[in-house]
Amino acid sequence: MNRKKSSYSTSESYILRIYRRNTHDPQELVGTIEEVMEGRIRSFNTQQSLLEQLLQNEYKRNEQ
């Protein structure tokens, strides 16, 4: 039986804290993202930077 390898990785847990957001510009939000298993906390100040950090974690896992 041939099984395709899943492109999904193991589950991950994050704690996302949003401290401030601009009601006039939804792209502007400030907060932190904590990787629960690693204990690492990083900050972000736009939706784009939050997304980049999440994608960076996925890229790192795929390299291993």
Is 39 contained in some domain?
yes
pTM above 0.75, yes or no: no
DSSP per residue, 3-58: -PPPS------EEEEEEEE-SS-TTEEEEEEEETTTTEEEEEEEHHHHHHHHHHHH
Q: Quick one: pLDDT at residue 24?
A: 92
Is 9 contained in some domain?
no
Q: Which domain holds residue 22?
A: 14-63
Is 43 contained in some domain?
yes
The domain total for the chain is 1
Q: Quick one: pLDDT at residue 1?
A: 52
For 7-30, write each residue's pLDDT tens digit.
Answer: 656 678 899 999 999 889 888 999
Q: Quick one: pLDDT at residue 5?
A: 56
For 33-53, write each residue's pLDDT tens digit.
Answer: 999 988 999 999 999 999 998
